Amino acid sequence: MSLQGPIVVVSSHKETELIAELGAAGAFPVIETSWRDSARAVVKIAPAAVVIAEPLPADLLIAEKLAGAIATASTSGPCPYMPVVARIGDSGPAFPGALPIALEAPPARLIDRLGSALRVRTLHATTLRRADSLQGECDDLPALPDGDPLDDATVLVAGRGRTYPALTTAVGERLGVIGALAIETAAKYLDARDIDGVIIGEGFSPRLVDQFVATLGNDTRFRDLPVAIVGDSRVSVDRTRLPNLDFVVGDAVDLVTRLLPSVRLHALAARLQRQIAALEAKGMLDPQTGLFTIPAFMRDLDRAIHDVQERGIGLSLARFSFPASIDRRCSLDAARLVSRLVRSVDFACRVDDGSVLLAFNGTALTSAHVVARRIASVLRHTMLLADSADGKQRVDPAVTLAALKASDTAESLLARVFEPAPVAAA
């Protein structure tokens, strides 16, 4: 994509090659500034992005002023996300909140990463614009979820070497984590779950890693996914297809710290995509799960009951409840997975206790039982508890089913799925 402007480049010396390549990529205008003048430039220009072309200066107070100016510009009114890409060395602190890139990375690599971040800015701007345009049409438009996007983020860690336990532990302390001891297992999780970052540890041959990363690069779904390959730089993949691919060294905690900004950005993009879908549905979809909101579900359930009673066809309701031990992130992940599995004629919502209600439209109890067991089985074999002792404890949903009776209302039908003995998943 052609880069948006203006872009502020912060450096203590002239960045001739970087400025030339930014211009060739379509960035205009590009404003160079020194560290001392950088905070003032950000306030005055309100740029689309900031590029910090060198590690932090010795006077960290100057960097703090720049960080403060960026934070102020990013939170002043309904403005879209402002990416910051910063070069980092092997030691020393990183610029707070910036997307890091190695000091020795060529300018073209930095521009690829900047372009990936600017796609999120465009997505954010689109979300804000659509929300504003729909204000007069709908009273219950969903608000953009607040809080740190890392609260919703999940990272896939693949490996089987001596560093694998340390990596999964370090990720699990900050984020949701899915562990995979085989590349094939990792590929299955990428297709089934919402993943915001991938760490490939030791224990795999360069050829196998090369094939896996090449597959990621060839799939547009994973174009902007942060991918970290630990230690082994012999992989020969085309890095231009994966702008957030890095080869990293160091201990597990440092690796995760370096990956966090990119994971946060990917989780923000996923949040914005769900928000746009909710806006386009004019408030009927929950932006956190992709399922119906509770009011929309109840309205549709009332209409469906009236329709099937008139036509003399079946309607069944299932409730998928989860162990009390699962945390909010895992509960939301389960609901998002259900949103992928729901048939187009059915509809579902996540209720306050974390359980999921799924209405099978025009479906008798026997057929609904078969479909519900299949969904529960997918959940049980896909969802993992991040905080389990051995890292292998699965989320085992309980399923309760009820069929619509002639005398039923929505309330009486709902009451029955919250009481009977559950049906175990196969």
User: What does the pLDDT look like over 126-170, one tens digit per residue?
Assistant: 999 988 888 877 777 777 778 899 988 999 999 987 889 999 999
Of residues 114, 263, 279, the one with CA closest to residue 196 = 263
Residue 356 exposed, middle or buried by CB count within 10 Å (0-12, 13-18, 19+): buried
Mean per-residue pLDDT, 34-60: 93
Q: Is 155 helix (H, G, I), strand (E, B) or coil?
A: strand
pLDDT of residue 86: 96
Asked if residue 251 has pLDDT above 60, the reply is: yes
- In the predicted structure, residue 38 carries a pLDDT above the cut 70: yes
CB proximity list for 404: less than 8 A, separation 6 or greater = 305, 308, 309, 314, 315, 316, 317, 413
Task: Give the CA angle between residues 274, 277, 281 to the nearest 5°.
Answer: 140
Q: Where residue 387 falls among pLDDT bands split at 50, 70, 90?
A: very low
Q: What is the pLDDT of residues 77-117, one digit of tens each?
A: 678 999 999 999 877 678 998 999 999 999 999 999 999 99
Q: Tell me the CA distances in angstroms from 355 to 136, 142, 263, 331, 338, one per residue in order.
A: 33, 21, 27, 8, 11
Would the pLDDT of 328 be above 80? yes
* 227-230/315-321 β-pairing: unpaired
Residue bearing the bigger pLDDT, 358 or 58:
358
Task: Identify the weakest region by mean pLDDT among 62-66, 263-267, 278-282.
Answer: 278-282
Phi, psi of 283 (to 5 degrees): 90, 0
The predicted pLDDT at position 232 comes to 64
**What pLDDT, on the 0 to 100 scale, is given for residue 152?**
86
Segment 2-26, tens digit of pLDDT: 687 899 999 999 999 999 999 999 9
- Contact by Cβ (8 Å): 202, 157: no
Asked whether the beta carbons of 111 and 7 are under 8 A apart, the reply is no
Q: What is the mean pLDDT of residues 272-290?
A: 91
pLDDT score for 135: 80
Could you tell me where the DSSP H helices lie in 46-106? 60-75
Percent of the chain residues past pLDDT 70, beyond the cut: 94
Q: How confident is the model at residue 304 (pLDDT cuts 50, 70, 90)?
A: very high
Which of 110-124, 269-283, 318-332, 345-359 has the lowest average pLDDT? Answer: 318-332
List the 315-321 sheet strands across, edge first: 347-350, 356-361, 315-321, 398-403
pLDDT at 65: 95
